[in-house]
């Protein structure tokens, strides 16, 4: 399996982390996002959405992290939920895509990677508020839970945690979310877990 990814992408990390923890052989294809590669005609021919991750498995090409994770569970069986938990896992993957990662990723980008002259303090403050609202929901859900759904890790854990291992500020004052921190530590203890900057290529960014 080949995964198109780069180190700063939490969405790509969701899939890379799953593959690594599951012990599934994979190779990475570095995508130079910060040089504009995802907008190049060559890359758009691979993924018309101009995003990572993309995964190729033989003749199959998939994009969107939730779709890729669902495919991997169906193919390998790793981290499959109990039959009665399937809809609940999907509910949290969809929540993450809409309320979690979409807010965390955008806020982290504009607060850390966007050129300072383009950073708008009001936009950042608004986005951080959205992040904190999502984190409050997640923290409350994880009280008295080791995993997002059921008693074992599922794709809900890989999806909802994707951006939360990064240290760049995006509104997550970690001491305010103890249940999230305990859950992230559970994920860190999974076999073969690696920090995204140790798992994927592209960190640190070149200095101009």
Query: Which pLDDT score is estimated for 52?
Result: 98
CA distance 150 to 4: 31
Model pTM? Answer: 0.97
Query: Which pLDDT score is estimated for 208?
Result: 65
To the nearest 10 degrees (0 to 180), the angle between helices 86-95 and 65-76 is 160
Q: Cα dist. 200→20, 96, 197 in Å?
A: 11, 21, 6
Q: Kindly write down the DSSP assignment for every residue of 150-208, as one continuous string.
A: TTS--HHHHHHTTTTT--S-SS--GGG-HHHHHHHHHHHTSTT---HHHHSS--SPPP-
Query: Which pLDDT score is estimated for 9?
Result: 98
Q: What is the pLDDT of residues 42-79, one digit of tens each?
A: 999 999 999 999 999 999 999 999 999 999 999 999 99
Query: Which pLDDT score is estimated for 207?
Result: 80
CA-wise closest residue to 146 among 161, 164, 128:
161
CA distance 6 to 15: 12
Topology at the third CATH level for domain 83-188: Glutathione S-transferase Yfyf (Class Pi); Chain A, domain 2 (1.20.1050)
Pair 3, 16: CB distance under 8 Å: yes
2-79+193-199 maps to CATH 3.40.30.10: yes
Mean pLDDT, consecutive 10-residue stretches, the chain (208 aa), reads 98 98 98 98 98 98 98 98 98 98 96 95 96 97 98 98 95 94 98 98 90
Report residue 19 CA to chain centroid gap.
Answer: 13
User: What are the residue boundaries of the structural domains of the chain, listed by start?
Assistant: 2-79+193-199, 83-188
């Amino acid at each position: 399996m080949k995964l198109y990814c780069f180190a700063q992408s939490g969405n790509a990390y969701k899939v890379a982390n799953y593959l690594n923890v599951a012990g599934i052989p994979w190779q990475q294809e570095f995508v130079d996002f910060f040089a504009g590669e995802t907008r190049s005609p060559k890359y758009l021919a691979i993924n018309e959405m101009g995003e990572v991750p993309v995964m190729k498995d033989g003749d199959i090409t998939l994009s969107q992290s939730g779709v890729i994770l669902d495919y991997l569970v169906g193919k390998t069986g790793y981290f499959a939920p109990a039959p009665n938990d399937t809809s609940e896992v999907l509910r949290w993957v969809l929540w993450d895509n809409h309320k979690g990662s979409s807010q965390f990723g955008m806020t982290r980008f504009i607060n850390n990677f966007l050129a300072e002259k383009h950073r708008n303090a009001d936009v950042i403050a608004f986005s951080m508020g959205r992040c904190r609202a999502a984190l409050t929901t997640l923290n409350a859900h994880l009280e008295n839970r080791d995993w997002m759904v059921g008693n074992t890790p599922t794709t809900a854990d890989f999806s909802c945690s994707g951006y939360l291992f990064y240290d760049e500020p995006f509104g997550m004052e970690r001491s305010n979310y103890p249940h999230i921190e305990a859950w992230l530590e559970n994920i860190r203890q999974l076999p073969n877990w690696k920090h995204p900057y140790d798992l994927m290529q592209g960190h640190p960014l070149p200095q101009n």
